[in-house]
Amino acid sequence: MKCIEVPKKYAERTIKLLRALRIMDNEHIITRKDDHVLIPVKKEPPMNNELSSIPMRLIICSPPVKKKKEVKVPAHDIIGDIAVVRENVLEYMSREEIVEALRTTYPRIRTIYLKKGTEGVFRVAELELLWGVDDPSTIHKEYGLRLKVDLRRAYYNPRLSEEHRRIAENAGDGESIFDLFAGIGGFAIHIASLHKATVLMNDLNPYAVRLGVENILLNKKRIKGTIIPLRIDARLALKYFRTESFDRVIANIPRSTHLFEKIYWYLLRSKGMLHLYFLSSISERDEFIKRYFARWKLTGIRKVIDYAPYVFIWRADLVKP
């Protein structure tokens, strides 16, 4: 380790010059030795006109390391260059503390939002701007795939990234797949990027469908399969499709998925797979399947994400006999 040893009366001026040259070592502490100050440096400074006029010398030193300030980072999601925290964080942190912690941890973010809940029939995020540019549109990456998101116009949860990939890896070439509640197209984009499958990407929210189309275009060089965007009410699917048309149905509408059981049954071929997402506690999970999906064969079940205290979003993999 090297330091510049300089008489105390020249220390302030020397520090300013070394900082301007960007050769001060900010990981170590400036110390004193008798009437001199020891300034840690990364390398020997050039002797320009200003520095050459200061009595100094380069020495070997062992200054103490600065203790890094611990930053308490609130629970959050990073979506592209946007950070989102939930309203319950305000129970233990102020708005100013949230902004400071997130800006320190993620210096490249441009916006920080507080999510106060969801609103409207499409359950889009109700956002309060805490810092930065009030623009909820961004590009988010999942496994190298680019997804355009608009948090105020269409539902998106970055915590489903792994789930998008798992379902895509379970699909196969030649399959006909219906994602009934597709949002901005996460499942469809992942599946079509891995397989020569045909995926119907449906959502009732017109903004979600528009974003889904943009996401197809954003990833067109990586897409192997065919994605067909749709905007129909899933309850009317029987009017538009023949029975037993699909090998796989994705049903990501956890709050009310049981209301569509007959639709799922109608759309799937025999031996077809239903990926069913639903809300439940651990104790009531199995009872939910028995009550609403008794005629299906359960092949697997897993917890996807936390939803509320003791309540989770689950995925059940159900085969139509």
Predicted confidence pLDDT, tens digits, the chain (321 residues)? 899 999 999 999 899 888 888 899 988 999 998 999 999 999 988 877 678 889 999 999 999 888 766 668 899 999 999 999 999 999 999 999 999 999 999 999 999 999 998 888 888 999 999 999 999 999 999 999 999 999 999 999 999 999 999 999 999 999 999 999 999 999 999 999 999 999 999 999 999 999 999 999 999 999 999 999 999 999 999 999 999 999 999 999 999 999 999 999 999 999 999 999 999 999 999 999 999 999 999 999 999 999 989 999 999 999 999
- What homologous superfamily is domain 77-135 in, according to CATH? Met-10+ protein-like domains (3.30.300.110)
Query: Could you state, in order of their start, the residue ranges of all structural domains in the chain?
Result: 2-60, 77-135, 154-319
pTM score:
0.79
Q: Look at residue 112 and give its three-state secondary structure.
A: strand
- What homologous superfamily is domain 154-319 in, according to CATH? Vaccinia Virus protein VP39 (3.40.50.150)
Residues ≥6 apart with Cβ < 8 Å to 119 = 125, 126
248-269 residues labelled b (16+ CB within 10 A) or e (exposed): bbbbbbbeebeebbebbbbbbe
Other beta carbons within 10 angstroms of residue 318's beta carbon come to 26
What is the third-level CATH fold of 2-60?
Alpha-Beta Plaits (3.30.70)
**H/E segment holding residue 122:** none
310: left (phi over 0), alpha (psi -120 to 50) or beta: left
* Nearest CA among 53, 111, 104, 45 for reference residue 77: 111
Number of H helices, E strands in the chain: 9, 17
Alpha helices in the chain (DSSP H): 11-21, 49-52, 95-105, 161-170, 186-194, 206-218, 237-240, 261-267, 282-292
At residue 70, the pLDDT reads: 66
Whether 154-319 and 77-135 are alike in CATH topology: the answer is no
Phi first, then psi, for residue 62 (nearest 5°) are: -135, 70
